[in-house]
Chain A
Amino acid sequence: MEELGPRAPYLPHAPGDVAAMLARLGLPDVEALFSELPEDLRLSAPVDLGPALDEASLARRVGQLAGANTAAGLICFAGGGVYDRYLPAVVQALAQRGEFLTAYTPYQPEVSQGTLQVTFEFQTMVSELFGLPVATAGLYDGSTALAEAVLMSRAATGRRGVAFASGVHPQWRAVVETYGQAQGLVALDLDGHADDVAAVVVQQPDYFGRIVDVEALLARRPAGALGVVAVDPSTLGVLEAPGRQGADVVVAEGQPLGLPLAYGGPYLGLMAARDDLLRRLPGRICGQGRDAAGQRAFVLTLQAREQHIRRARATSNVCTNQAWCALAVTIYLSLLGPRGLAELGRLGYARAHYAAGLLTRIPGVRLAIAGAPFFHEFALRVPEAESLQAAMAAAGFLVGPVIDRHTLLIAVTERRDRGEIDGLAAAMGKVLRDAGA
């Protein structure tokens, strides 16, 4: 028989409560509630997970693990689709509110208008950024949003091929291939097999930081194939909206718009599409409607696409829309406004080009793709990428990811000022001089 009063930290009962509840049920103890489990399936003792920690001990233990991540203390010039941007205090202060953080999917719209209105505002912002009329409430991350977009293209066209332009993030491409294998999806070259291409995938800027000619790439697509563009949304105050360059579907990783690095997640997948793809979109969508008294109200809509209604015939199995991440993005974009977003892009652009100019003056260092226009990130050809990354870390700077033996990425956000860029160049020069000596 177990002790009646709980010792676990978040249980509310006094011993008398447990006794009274058991008495109402006519049961001798909590154990009796598990009588329907075959006896040999019941564990006789607690699982050994080490001792339970009080809150102060927990904070110490987890704090030590956090402290062991010394890379977090480096000046961050790392990129690869994830960027160290300044996170305004307002984003964190508002997003941490329990009314947002501890609510769930707005199944009861009458008590979820906060969530729903934020979602509606988020969809409006995504639609504006991408230049496409219908946006979803969000997906897991950029890579899975791309996979969903390709599967949607497969379903919409009845074709099996996906053609990747060069420079699509290799991990994103791998995710598309994992998702696609079950649906008979095959990766094709952009210029072949014209009649079986469901989607052409272009990334802007691409994995190497290059700004690509979206319009020209999409113009080459075979008739009937959908143009899918994966874009860094933080560039869209400066660069043209892909939806006005011929894209049928646009997806993005939302991390650069107000989400912390957090070692890779949670992030947010953004998606918008042409009107006629509306009923093929994956996941949640919020719509504007009316309540019984005729006042404006928001509600999840077009749910007949979704798994809880359509089950095996749903457009996707996805349920979550990373709503909390979408909230952070909505707050961040509200703080920036149209001018802030443009300034953000221009600042990163100016600083990245300044950084590239300094770094390529170091002997043995050059741009990996000479002459290609880039935005706030570029691929650097160096003598030995892996060891340079380690040596730069020892000097206080995080660079990367390492792409191959001689190439790594450098990203410069609005958060890196001139002094830090000068420091980066000086440190890299010294590291390579020392290595060559």
Chain B
Amino acid sequence: MPVPDAPEPLIFERSRPGRRALRLPEIDVPEPSRPEDDLPSGWLRARPPALPEVGEPEVVRHFTRLSRRNFAVDTGMYPLGSCTMKYNPKINDTLAGLDGFAGLHPSAPDALAQGALALLWELEQDLCRLTGMDAFSLQPAAGAHGELVGMLIASAYHRARGDSARRRVVVPDAAHGTNPASAAMAGFEVVEVGTDARGGIDLEQVRAHADGRLAALMLTNPNTLGLFEGEVREVAQVVHQAGGLLYYDGANLNAIVGRARPADMGFDVCHLNLHKTFSTPHGMGGPGAGPVGVTRRLSPYLPGPLVRRRDVPAVAGPRYAWDDPGPESIGRVRALHGNFGVLVRAYAYIRANGGSGLREVSGHAVLAANYLAALLRPWLPASHDRICMHEVVTDGRALAPHGLRALDLCKALLDRGFHAPTMYFPLIVPEALMFEPTETEPREAIEALAAAVGEIVALAERDPEAVRQAPTQTPVGRVDEASAARRPVLRWYPSEGDRAPEG
């Protein structure tokens, strides 16, 4: 048997002229129209695209082999902080694939899509209950998309009030990179504020920016240090008194889902990452979903279309329909109705857990992170000596005396069967390593991860070079990212001679 991680050629390198996989139906209409008879020759493809020519068995083997060169939640523990790599229930994939969902065209008349509309409406209600918000849009395709929507809502809100001088968005220095990027994309000037000694947002610095220029402050709670922002209501008060809005980045909701609600903390607008808290598979980097919730005064600005429910006495049960939002809406943020297949999975996850189950989810997520933090403490102390929430940020300088970096420890963890934690984030912690075990890891997996860290630190003392060489048990060794970026090779070419720019 070949080793599972043997190099696999590119599918193009397996190509042989004349081979093919899928056979299509024959043309079965009389006197078939042909593009070459109807269209100017310059409109027709002069040279076929160099797609691979391979048989079906080779296609199956190729992608199966590639799959074996991946680490995934289904193959091992994935404590990648800030990403909530929890188990993704298989039943949810099955349900999303049902013909009534997967085979439903988005142009279907509402009357013939009542199940899908009911599901979306119920999901909106669930998310409102869990966050305390009054209305949700399920349109945004991802967390960052939701952030952009939230920032456009803030912009529209201030504009509608004739308050156009508010062009400034405040973010903590520990914020996810998407926060400042989304605010900038929505046309705002971004101002960073610092983190205080306890690891919370620096309230004094927030006060210094609480003026007529403040449009919004973006905060995640717990924050990216994995710590609860205990002064969140004070922050809300300062922001609101200055006329600004408070935005909740829902990336870390898994810590508090079912236990505390952003609206109660004073947040006006939020996005949720359904692929994190609500367990939809991350798919190697999407698709996710980033619904946006708002309090009542912001609901006119939500993007459309929105699902409406009407109780019709004449028929049994309610009827659902798509409705365009009002004139104050920020407009469309994508075509059609959102990442529906993702929404089905999140809906199923919420139904399977119920309110009490989700409360257990956050409880066990926080328990796992604190247990891991306690086990890691001898080698990787937490950045702040507090109870952490769903993740723990550690100071990775333990290896520095041996000339090693946090990166080296991460690569050595790969050799021991674990995905690495998030490295060098948040930026304010030196050699930061951010671990998020999630609630779905058994106790022994958490213990094994901590033991592996201890083993690597011990090895570093004895033989730092061995750690620097890691990983050696993975499909490829350490990849030279710098040289790949210096001379970018971004696609395969049939031969060197074809490398000339196209077009």
Determine the distance from Cα of A419 to Cα of B97 in the docked complex, in whole angstroms: 27
**What 0/1 readout, one digit per residue, does chain B (33-58) give for beta carbons within 8 Å of chain A?**
11100111011111011111110100
Known: A266-B342, A302-B485. A107 touches B106 (CB 8 A): no
Chain B neighbourhood of A349, CB < 8 A: 33-35
| B142 within 8 A of partner (CB) | yes
Are A134 and B490 closer than 8 Å at their CB atoms? yes
A98 contacts B75, CB within 8 Å?
A: yes
Q: Which residues of B contact A81 (CB under 8 A)?
A: 335
Would you call A66 and B483 a contact (CB within 8 A)? no
* Contact assessment for B51 and A128 in the assembled complex, using a CB-CB cutoff below 8 Å: yes
- B87 part of interface (Cβ distance < 8 Å): yes
B327 interface residue per 8 A CB criterion: no
B45–A121 CB distance below 8 A: no
Nearest A-chain residue to B87, judged by Cβ: A10
The 23 listed contacts between A and B (C-beta, < 8 Å) are A9-B352, A17-B442, A33-B367, A46-B258, A46-B356, A58-B91, A79-B107, A114-B69, A124-B492, A141-B334, A144-B145, A238-B44, A284-B285, A295-B476, A301-B484, A301-B488, A322-B285, A327-B284, A337-B20, A337-B53, A346-B27, A346-B34, A349-B33
Name the A residues within 8 Å of B46 (CB-CB).
Answer: 240, 244
A314 touches B129 (CB 8 A): no
Task: In the complex, identify which listed stretch (B179-187, B238-246, B292-300, B457-465) lies at the interface while the others stay far away.
Answer: B179-187
The answer to whether A243 and B284 have CB atoms under 8 Å apart is: no
The number of chain A residues touching the other chain, given as a range, is 35 or more
Residue tally, chain B, CB below 8 Å to A: 203
Q: How many A-B residue pairs have CB under 8 A?
A: 724
Rank and list the top 4 A-B pairs by shortest CB-CB distance, nearest first: A66-B100, A324-B283, A98-B74, A289-B484
Question: What per-residue 1/0 map shows which CB atoms of A14-51 lie under 8 Å from chain B?
Answer: 00011011101100001101111110011100111111
In the bound complex, do residue A109 and residue B440 qualify as a contact, i.e. CB atoms below 8 Å apart? no
Residues of chain B lying within 8 A (CB to CB) of residue A265: 141, 287, 334, 336-342
A49 near B286 with CB under 8 A, answer: no
A174 at the interface (CB under 8 A from B): yes
Q: Which of A107, A141, A354 contacts B335 (CB 8 A)?
A: A141
Q: Answer whether A8 and B357 are a contact pair too, CB < 8 Å, given A53-B351, A102-B72, A389-B109.
A: yes
Residue of A nearest to B93 (CB): A96
Using CB atoms, name the residue of chain B closest to A63: B98
Q: How far is the CA of A27 from the CA of B214 in the complex (A)?
A: 42
Indicate if the CB atoms of B183 and A312 lie closer than 8 Å: yes
Q: How far is the CA of A36 from the CA of B50 in the complex (A)?
A: 59
Closest Cβ–Cβ distance, residue B353 to chain A (whole Å): 5
A398 at the interface (CB under 8 A from B): yes
Q: Does B328 contact A (CB under 8 A)?
A: no
Contacts A69-B104, A90-B21, A301-B488 known; A99 to B75 CB distance under 8 Å? yes
Contacts of B204 in A (CB 8 A): none
Residue with the greatest number of chain B CB neighbours at <10 A, chosen from A38, A142, A263: A263
C-alpha spacing A317/B265, complex, angstroms: 26
Q: Which residues of B contact A323 (CB under 8 A)?
A: 283-286
Q: With a CB–CB cut-off of 8 A, which chain B residues contact A125?
A: 49, 51
Contact partners of A195 in chain B: CB under 8 A: none
Question: Closest CB of chain A to B226's CB: distance in Å?
Answer: 11
Interface string of A77-121 (1 = CB under 8 A from B): 011111010001010111011111111111111111111011011
Counting CB contacts under 8 A, is A239 at the interface? yes
Chain B 58-101: CB-based contact to A (< 8 A → 1; otherwise 0)? 01101110111111111100101001011111010111111111
Q: When the two chains form their complex, are residues A18 and B21 in contact, meaning their CB atoms are under 8 A apart?
A: no
Question: With a CB–CB cut-off of 8 A, which chain A residues contact B283?
Answer: 100-101, 103, 322-325, 327
